[in-house]
Amino acid sequence: MKTYSLSHPQAVVNDIHISSVDISPADLLKEYHHPEAGAILLFSGEVRTDSDKEVLYLDYEVHTSLAEKMIHDILLEASSKWNLKMALCIHRSGRVGISEAAVVVITASRHRKEAYEANQYIINKVKHEAPIWKREYFADGTSEWGHNCSCSTS
């Protein structure tokens, strides 16, 4: 059984934030719980086919050392701001196929409001600020670099 520290810096439960291998949201959710958390929220950003053109897969280029530090700092900030019991974020690098997870964020807090707010904050901040670049590959043989974020500012 895992032991948990209640101070905020230890709320960040993963040391590796960039993965070159498949991410299993279900496995992560099974593994990460906290006895003082009444709310555990999982966000999985997955590759979809519908765009202006049919997408075959995405390829993520990452400045790994800088992205690792930035994501860790974002998790620490969110953990402190929302008094999280647990925070996790893993983003893929390399080729990611349709319906595969490109990024997973899990937040745990005493109540759902904090888990939702922190989770949205983490994913938006990672998408806007982390040095991770997406290239979409299409069925027509073309490819295109994506924007760093297409999420809303709210």
User: Looking at the domain assignment, is residue 154 inside a domain?
Assistant: no
pLDDT for the residue 8? 47
In the predicted structure, residue 4 carries a pLDDT above the cut 90:
no
Q: Is residue 2 part of a domain?
A: no
Q: Are 37 and 108 in contact (CB under 8 A)?
A: yes
Predicted confidence (pLDDT) at residue 135 exceeds the cutoff of 80 = yes
Range of the domain at 137: 8-145
What is the arithmetic mean of pLDDT over 41-49? 96
Whether 14 maps to a domain, the answer reads: yes
- Residue 16 and residue 113: Cα distance in Å, rounded? 26
Per-residue tokens: 137: 């590959």
- Domain count of the fold of the chain: 1
Q: Which pLDDT value is given to residue 13? A: 79
**How does pLDDT run across 81-118, given as a tens digit for each residue?**
999 999 999 999 999 999 999 999 999 999 999 999 99
pLDDT per residue over 66-81, tens digit each? 999 999 999 999 999 9
Residue 99 buriedness (CB in 10 A; 0-12 / 13-18 / 19+): exposed
Cβ pair 58, 136 in contact under 8 A: yes
pLDDT of residue 71: 98
pLDDT of residue 154: 35
Q: Does a structural domain hold residue 100?
A: yes
Instruction: Determine, yes or no, domain membership for 63.
Output: yes
Query: Residue 83's domain is classified under what CATH number?
Result: 3.90.1170.40
Write out pLDDT tens, residues 6-25: 444 568 878 899 999 999 99
Which 8-state DSSP code applies to residue 15? Answer: S
What is the spatial order of strands in the sheet that 101-109 belongs to? 18-19, 86-92, 101-109, 39-46
139-143 long-range Cβ contacts below 8 angstroms, 24+ apart:
139/53, 139/54, 139/55, 139/56, 140/53, 140/54, 142/53
**Average pLDDT in the chain:** 89
**pLDDT the model gives residue 12:** 82
What is the pLDDT, as a whole number, of residue 1? 34
Residue 152 lies in a domain: no
